[in-house]
Amino acid sequence: MKKILIITPYYDPEDFPINSFAQQLVKDKNEVTVITGLPNYRNFSFYRGYSFSGPYKQIINNVKVLRVPIIPRYSNSKLSIFIFYLSYFLSTSIFLLFFSLIKRNKFDHMMSFCGSPVYVGLLTNFFSKIINCQNSQWVQDIWPEGIESTVGIKSNFLKKCINFLQNLMWNKSDILFAQSDDLSLFLSENTKCKKISTLYNPVRIENISRHKELKSDKTIFSFMGTIGKGRSIESLIESFNSLKDSNIFLNICGDGPELPNLRKKYTSKNIIWHGWLNSNQLDEIAELSNFFIFGLENLGRQSHILPSKLQTYCMYGKPIICFSGGAPKNLILNNKIGFVSENFNKMDMIKTYKIAINSTHDERMTMSRNAINTFNNHFKSQITVKIFLNEIE
């Protein structure tokens, strides 16, 4: 049995891969403590049942969860995002200063889940020394590209500072876990860390139906994810809209800052805007879909990142249309689970849609089976935890 401390800005009820990872660790007879903030992700306030008064201590699925006070992200403005990041970092630093002294020699391993803000890895670098245990970082994002593509950064000096701190925390880590093979290779070639391993993000597993025979002349595409800035989401909608085929439909499932504008701009009856849906509603959409759509305009080193949406698509077991390069493209092509267009040229995207529409039933079923096999071989929490425990021994 291992005693493991996880530092993460987000945790249950916020929906992130770290949830199923921590829960699987407990199922495998390990003792897990998570230090996180009060839940507020994409809610623009605290989740129901949470406030500045707590609760700050919970047991969720046998995982001990300790929360620190934060100022929630009240909007998508740069200032609001900065205040949230800063409040989390300061609160967690102060808490860990006392916690690590009290809990010295009480943990075997300390891991940071390094999404945004990525600098949570610095906390693990420093406080694991006080606790006196091995440390690791599960790299989920790369800055400054990660924030440059969302909120924008113009200062080259600031970019250099961000990159310096990021390289510092990577180099000081005992183990770096990368969430794609592409990222593993990049970290191996660009950091001083001596131990680097691929650790794919796991996804939730529900009782879902797969390979449902869709007895219809309709072809249904489904996009699930954030409706954010960048040209990828609008490009895939615009190219779909240009097909002008009454028998094809596009589900757009998700919320984000660009949803109101895009919904107003694209009013075709063949484009169905669902907004935010819960997991059961997404399962129903997935069951009736012929293809999933993934679009990501990579910026620099962000091409090494593998968004968890692709793991979820594989779980559902349907062919994937991928408008992206880098790690997403390699996943699709290496496992033969869909169609790829590496750029956002309108004609190329339309051509990719048409290739998918004209594919045979047998071709689609083969891709579906390949997607399920990819999920079973790489993206289950049991597999992720087994790799993790082997690496930290």
Question: 251-261 burial string, b = 16+ CB within 10 Å, else e?
Answer: bbbbebebbee
Say what the pLDDT of residue 85 is. 93
CA–CA gap between residue 385 and residue 204 (Å, rounded): 14
CA–CA gap between residue 71 and residue 85 (Å, rounded): 9
Is 0.85 topped by the overall pTM?
A: yes
Per-residue pLDDT tens for 282-291? Answer: 989 999 999 9
Specify the CATH class of 3-199 in words: alpha beta
Place of tokens 């969720």: 60
Say what the pLDDT of residue 355 is. 96
Q: CATH topology of 3-199 equal to that of 219-378? A: yes
Give me the residue spans of the domains in the chain. 3-199, 219-378
Per-residue pLDDT tens for 193-226? Answer: 999 999 999 987 654 555 455 556 889 999 998 8
Q: At what angle do helices 78-102 and 120-131 cross, to 10 degrees?
A: 10
Homologous superfamily of domain range 219-378: Glycogen Phosphorylase B; (3.40.50.2000)
